[in-house]
Amino acid sequence: MAALSDIGVIGLAVMGENLILNMESKGFQVTAYNRTVDKVDNFVNGRAKGKNITGAHSIEELIGSLKSPRKVMLMVKAGKPVDDFIELLIPHLDKGDIIIDGGNSHFPDTERRVNYVESKGLRYIGTGVSGGEEGALLGPSIMPGGSKEAWEEVKPIFQGIAAKVDDGAPCCDWVGDGGAGHFVKMVHNGIEYGDMQLICEIYQLMKDVLGMNADEMHEIFKEWNEGELDSYLIEITRDILAYKEDGTPIIDKILDTAGQKGTGKWTGTVALELGIPLTLITESVFARCLSALKDERVAASKVLTAGPKPSFDGDKKQFIDQLRDALYAAKVISYAQGYQMMRSAAKEYGWELNYGNIALMWRGGCIIRSRFLGNIKEAFDNNPDLTNLLLDPYFAEKIQACQDGLRKVTATAMLNGIPVPCLSAGINYYDGYRTERLPANLLQAQRDYFGAHTYERLDQPRGKYFHTNWTGRGGETSSTSYGV
Ligand code: NBP
């Protein structure tokens, strides 16, 4: 009889297969199962042949092949398939067994499932897994949350297969209770959206304002990837720009409409719910939406012809340096906003998030991996209660040195008619966050004028509320419940 497996994985698509091969390569025995059972045999007789991987043809066979406490990881399409498999698994599992969801589930679903599965005497982990196909095979970033008592059971497998950085530290650690793991994965994906859009805006400025071709841009991204912008997304941009089809850059032939699967939208929606100014990431989602209106944009380009034609007569080298500073500054701002949102969510949902460890989990294996996440880890290790990344001494100095580049690049873009929603969101946040007095005094006056919403005063203690009878026609009663 074959030895019992350390873990069972359900879902033999790109992520499941590669994670199983990764687990096996690290010395774990794995059982593989899939809804369409043919795929089990194809896998076991194909990529898994000769390895410590067992195929199961039913849930019963899968469960029977596992060591206790049993660990079953779902790598299936997010949504109903996860709930369906939970229902199929529960009758076969014993107290203390662990169901793991490694797909891109929305964190409220994970919160609900943790409670449900725990109510059956079982344990549940919802984990973000990032890094795509290659990451899954060679070392992804793994962000687990859920039933804390289950962590010690899965830790050797998860940390064994995760990406390693610097001194061998795994890009995987316990994130927190309930849906915390999937929440952090969602923010990761939102940050990914922001990073990608920022690079795209810089690319358009190079192409349309400076008139650079793909080879010239490739050289600049190559240079930047050797400095503090060193990251996976800069690296692939460098390589994309160099890629030729029939001797011409393929980038010039790709249709300019962006797709999306929804995790960026979730990040923006949750930011609005939490009341966090996650402006840069949210603009990056809207930028994809606007790009998708290709036919409308083509028609509008023939009607709305008023506006500048891009031109540049300044110092090109200096502007490229400003582009680099702008990209760096906006990136810092985007991460500052993302961390602000995680801090707010931790308070809202009662999670104890370790922000330095989150930076470490993102430092390798995932799509946003970068050198600068090492600096973020240091910032939160130095001060776990840091209210805003921009206030960390290292980043405060950096952002102040680079803000001028971000400001000049954004202004140049606007004067040239180039849309830069994320770069401009970045400089607007920077200026908003550092402004002692914003015009919200007028806003409060307006709210009090039409809705008796009251206001606080600069010359009175906080928490005391005043109402003015602005027109002389209103009463003295202020509103307590009507909130616009
Ligand atoms: P997919 O998201 O394409 O899902 C394929 C798997 O889901 C197959 O095993 C399929 O079974 C199963 N499945 C489907 Br589809 N509908 C089902 C249903 N109604 N009931 C039961 N099973 C069903 O696979 P993936 O791209 O490997 O991703 C797996 C998870 O990891 C997803 O949540 C995804 O969002 C997440 N993720 C993906 C990536 C990536 O780069 N692809 C990266 C990070 C995270 P079948 O073979 O019988 O149809």
- Tens of pLDDT along 83-106? 999 999 999 999 999 999 999 999
Tokens linked to 455: 């206001």
Our answer on whether the CB atom of 262 is closer than 6 Å to any ligand 1 atom is no
Tell how far the Cα of 75 is from the centroid of ligand 1, in angstroms. Answer: 6
Our answer on whether the CB atom of 135 is closer than 6 Å to any ligand 1 atom is no
Rounded to the nearest integer, the mean pLDDT of the chain is 96
Closest atom of ligand 1 to 15 CA is 27
Tell me the angle at which helices 316-349 and 263-274 cross, rounded to the nearest 10 degrees.
Answer: 60
The pLDDT confidence band at residue 319, using thresholds 50, 70 and 90, is very high
Distance CA 119, CA 140 (A): 31
Q: Is 50 exceeded by the pLDDT of residue 176?
A: yes
Our answer on whether the CB atom of 365 is closer than 6 Å to any ligand 1 atom is no
Tell how far the Cα of 12 is from the centroid of ligand 1, in angstroms. Answer: 8
Of the candidates 17, 153, 192, 283, the residue annotated as catalytic is 192
Q: Is 70 exceeded by the pLDDT of residue 214?
A: yes
Taking only the tens place, the pLDDT of each residue in 332-343 is: 999 999 999 999
Our answer on whether the CB atom of 294 is closer than 6 Å to any ligand 1 atom is no
The pLDDT confidence band at residue 480, using thresholds 50, 70 and 90, is low
Q: Is 80 exceeded by the pLDDT of residue 209?
A: yes
The pLDDT confidence band at residue 475, using thresholds 50, 70 and 90, is confident
* Closest among 199, 145, 157 to 358, alpha carbons compared: 145
Instruction: Kindly report the protein residue whose alpha carbon is nearest to atom 17 of ligand 1.
Output: 81
Our answer on whether the CB atom of 38 is closer than 6 Å to any ligand 1 atom is no
220-253 in b/e burial notation, b at 16+ Cβ within 10 A? bbbebbeeebebbbbbebbebbbeeeeeebebee
Q: Is 90 exceeded by the pLDDT of residue 293?
A: yes
Query: Residue 185 carries which DSSP code?
Result: H
Closest atom of ligand 1 to 17 CA is 27
Of the candidates 17, 111, 153, 185, the residue annotated as catalytic is 185
pLDDT at 477: 78
pLDDT at 167: 84
SS3 176: strand
pLDDT at 1: 54
Q: 34, 76, 84, 134: which to mutate for ligand 1, most atoms within 8 A of CB?
A: 76
- DSSP-derived pairing of the beta strands 141-146 and 164-165: unpaired
Instruction: Kindly report the protein residue whose alpha carbon is nearest to atom 41 of ligand 1.
Output: 132
Q: Is 80 exceeded by the pLDDT of residue 481?
A: no
Instruction: Kindly report the protein residue whose alpha carbon is nearest to atom 11 of ligand 1.
Output: 35
Cβ atoms of 92 and 125 closer than 8 Å: no
Catalytic residue list contains 185: yes
Q: 38, 43, 59, 77: which to mutate for ligand 1, most atoms within 8 A of CB?
A: 77
Cβ atoms of 182 and 128 closer than 8 Å: yes
pLDDT at 257: 95
The pLDDT confidence band at residue 479, using thresholds 50, 70 and 90, is confident
The pLDDT confidence band at residue 179, using thresholds 50, 70 and 90, is very high
Our answer on whether the CB atom of 129 is closer than 6 Å to any ligand 1 atom is yes
Instruction: Kindly report the protein residue whose alpha carbon is nearest to atom 40 of ligand 1.
Output: 132
Distance CA 394, CA 445 (A): 39
The separation between CA 439 and the C-alpha centre of its own chain, rounded to angstroms, equals: 32
Closest atom of ligand 1 to 102 CA is 31
Our answer on whether the CB atom of 426 is closer than 6 Å to any ligand 1 atom is no
The pLDDT confidence band at residue 261, using thresholds 50, 70 and 90, is confident
Cβ atoms of 115 and 121 closer than 8 Å: no
Our answer on whether the CB atom of 88 is closer than 6 Å to any ligand 1 atom is no
Taking only the tens place, the pLDDT of each residue in 29-62 is: 999 999 999 999 999 999 999 999 999 999 999 9
The pLDDT confidence band at residue 484, using thresholds 50, 70 and 90, is very low
Instruction: Kindly report the protein residue whose alpha carbon is nearest to atom 39 of ligand 1.
Output: 132
pTM: 0.95
Tell how far the Cα of 47 is from the centroid of ligand 1, in angstroms. Answer: 18
Catalytic residue list contains 226: no
pLDDT at 476: 74
Query: Residue 252 carries which DSSP code?
Result: G
pLDDT at 383: 97
Residue with tokens 């469960």: 63
Closest atom of ligand 1 to 105 CA is 33
Closest atom of ligand 1 to 12 CA is 9
Tell how far the Cα of 347 is from the centroid of ligand 1, in angstroms. Answer: 32
Instruction: List, in order, residues 6 or more apart from 141 with CB less than 8 Å away.
Output: 128, 129, 130, 131, 135, 162, 163, 171, 172, 188, 361, 362, 364, 365, 366, 369
